[in-house]
Amino acid sequence: MKKYLIITLLAVLPSSIFAIAGLGLSVNQSLFSVGSSSSPLLVEVPGLDPMEVGSFTHHGFENGAGIGGYLYLDIIPVIDLDVEFNVVGNLYNFSFINPVSNLDSVQFAYAAANTYITIQKSVFDLGIPFLARANLYAGLGYNQHVGTPMIDQEMLTTVVGGNIETGEIDEDALIDYLKKNKLEATGFHVQAGLQMHLLTFDVFAYYRYTMAKDVIPGNNGFGSFNVRFGFGI
């Protein structure tokens, strides 16, 4: 009797245990490079040419780590709908030198909030009957981004109250500047990877290429390796 009960339960599992939707946590490693740069710090002098009062150096950085969440719907015929939100960031160094201040290799942060809406389709399925399945999938979609600007002379001039000779940074002015000068962009992306289901649990591993100008300063796009852990509902 127990044997037949188990067989009966397994027979109905695919309609209930393989989810029609899912949600969970996502982590990623974004792949990009922001080059270093150096420029003089100049102030306006009435009746004269701009005067150099120091120098600013941005040391550049590579790649970024991110974390976020996702939600997908698997009830639409032929295709699936996937929505993901994540935050990606990294630390970088800059130097600010003038006659009264020498800030050498000070750390600052770059961060971007990203939203991805993806239509995707399974291209190959495999599985263990009743218990687990996996599929290779590919997708494309639309993305939105909001990021922090990189430090430059304009930012420095603003956050020190217009007097960059003193080198005294106003933290409130810095926060206000970042809010008013945030980087905003939209674009498109393509992605492909492997989705694995074990009972009600999901694991995704995929590569995504994002096409959006200057989300990463000086770049028209960037790649990322992504892993997800979640469960079906």
Buried b (16+ CB within 10 A) or exposed e, 29-57: ebebebeeeeeebebeeeeeeeeebbebb
Q: pLDDT of 27-86, one tens digit each?
A: 999 999 998 877 777 777 777 777 777 777 888 899 999 999 999 988 777 888 999 999
Range 18-232 classified under CATH 3.90.1150.10? no
Tokens of 95: 């130097």
Q: pLDDT of 142-184, one tens digit each?
A: 999 999 888 777 777 777 665 555 556 667 777 788 888 888 9
CA distance 171 to 164: 14
- Is pLDDT above 70 for 128? no
User: Could you say which DSSP state residue 149 is in?
Assistant: P
Q: 3-state class of 178 per DSSP? A: helix
CB atoms within 10 A of CB 12: 10
Strand partners, 65: 29, 89
Domain range list for the chain = 18-232
Average pLDDT over residues 128-138: 76
Q: pLDDT of 68-82, one tens digit each?
A: 999 998 877 788 899
